Amino acid sequence: VNSLSALLEGVVDVPVPEQLRVTGLSLDSRSIEHGDLFVGVPGLEADGRSYVPQAVAGGAGAVLVEARDGSGGQYEVPCYQVRNLRQYIGLIASRFYGFPSRLLCVIGFTGTNGKTTCAGLTAQALEALGRRSGVIGTVGAGRFDSLRPISLTTPDAISLQAELAQMVDAGLDSVCIEISSHALDQARVRGVDIDAAVFTNLSRDHLDYHGSMDAYAASKFLLFQDHGVRAAIINTSDPYGAEFVRAGIPAKVWTYGSDNLANVYPEKSEVFPTGIRLRLATPVGSISFQVSLLGRLNVMNLVAVVTALLALEYSSAAIERAMSTLRPVPGRMELVSESDAPVHVVVDYAHTPAALEQALDSLREHTPQRIWCVFGCGGERDPGKRPEMGAIADRLADNIVLTNDNPRAEDPLRILRQIESGIERHKA
């Protein structure tokens, strides 16, 4: 759809000339091409409305901005003002790209830890089940074996619809999307029809943005309230997940967890040097498989994937076959050394206290050898978690090496000192 009146139907309350057409959509005045619709909204670091003159000079055919008190300014092209514009950008983009999510089986993953692993494993399982599945998330976008880098875990509302349309054009029939709390709070997934949504867990992260754990949890719950989800897969061993279920979700709910209070749970799990063996209890009987993944932390990720596949109505036999084919997701408890090397090197994305604790605990089950933990904390992100992560490494690792991890504009030494403040046993 490129008719501006059709794109803005129900969004603006003034007439839009029928003859107006747009050739593209953009939130960035620097990427405007001739005939595009420029969308200007206030952001955390800049106000997109300030860049309307540049967008018009760059060839924008029309402008849509968050309404502000007083005049919106006079420009050489039509300019429309809308209150709460972020809530509509995804819908407008979905219309422009031909409602791509309606042509895909969309599975969304939200939670503090496990999103990337669960999305990557589910995409692999769907491929093994005969589907052509894509991934959108931290590790990139595209087929699991040929991912392209992207800048955000969940792209902005326009870029997300463009990615989905690209997948439809490439012949894909399903996609696994990581959905961050920022994306939910900023309405980036509005306009995406979601078939199934998975909640993994919630622990301390992003408090620099959300302010409190309650606000952080509320942003996650938005996925299950406002996006037409048909099946909700919830980890009820997590107290926030259990609360989500108690609060009521307008979808068929499948629960998974560590015990028989959930629909799907491990009856038996065994960690061995190069992988995991699992037998799960499910509403359709036991499901058993072995995978070459490291870490007991992956047990709950695997249970989540199986529950999602059950919600998508795959048989237990098909699920067993698919799960046995899974490979590690890059950077997620990934063994990067040779299996017979004298020293094993494992790379994991752990960037929260809970994730670091799970990773180190899990590695201890795989090896009797000493564990060296090499890590840092990102700059300009929740400084309160830094001493916590230092204390966890102090307790669970045999040796610690602190290093930089994308300090951004923050003083790297300040970050390291904050981590070090939690370390007692291993101080040099």
Which CATH number does the domain housing residue 169 bear? Answer: 3.40.1190.10
Separation CA 246–CA 227 (nearest Å):
19
Same domain, 314 and 346: no
Do 194 and 55 reside in the same domain of the chain? no
Which residue segment(s) compose the domain that 344 sits in?
A: 334-420
In a domain, 93, yes or no: no
Instruction: Determine the Cα–Cα distance for residues 242 and 323; give it in Å rounded to an integer.
Output: 26
Residue 214 forms part of a structural domain: yes
For the chain, 428 residues long, the average pLDDT of each consecutive 10-residue run is 95 93 98 98 92 97 88 82 97 98 98 94 99 97 95 94 98 98 93 98 71 85 90 97 96 98 97 90 98 92 99 98 96 87 90 92 87 97 95 97 96 98 86
pLDDT given for residue 206 in this prediction: 58
* Spatial strand order in the sheet of 275-281: 265-272, 275-281, 287-291
Same domain, residue pair 221 and 152: yes
Q: What is the DSSP string of 313-370?
A: T--HHHHHHHHTT--PPTTSSEE-S-TT-SS--EE----SHHHHHHHHHHHHHH-SS-
Residue 345 located in a structural domain: yes
Q: Is residue 389 part of a domain?
A: yes
**What is the spatial distance between Cα 314 and Cα 53, in angstroms, rounded to a whole number?**
53
CA distance 220 to 111: 7
Positive or negative, the CA dihedral 30, 55, 190, 8 is negative
Strand order across the beta sheet in which 79-82 lies: 25-26, 37-40, 62-66, 79-82
Shared-domain flag, residues 24 and 130: no
Indicate whether 11 belongs to any domain. Answer: yes
How many domains, the chain?
3
Interatomic CA distance for residues 163 and 186, integer angstroms: 18
pLDDT of residue 209: 67
Whether the CB-CB separation of 8 and 92 falls below 8 Å is answered with yes
- 285 and 180: one domain? yes
pLDDT at 426: 81
Strands 140-143 and 133-137: antiparallel
Q: Is 253 within 8 Å of 263 (Cβ atoms)?
A: no
User: What CATH number is attached to the domain comprising 412?
Assistant: 3.90.190.20
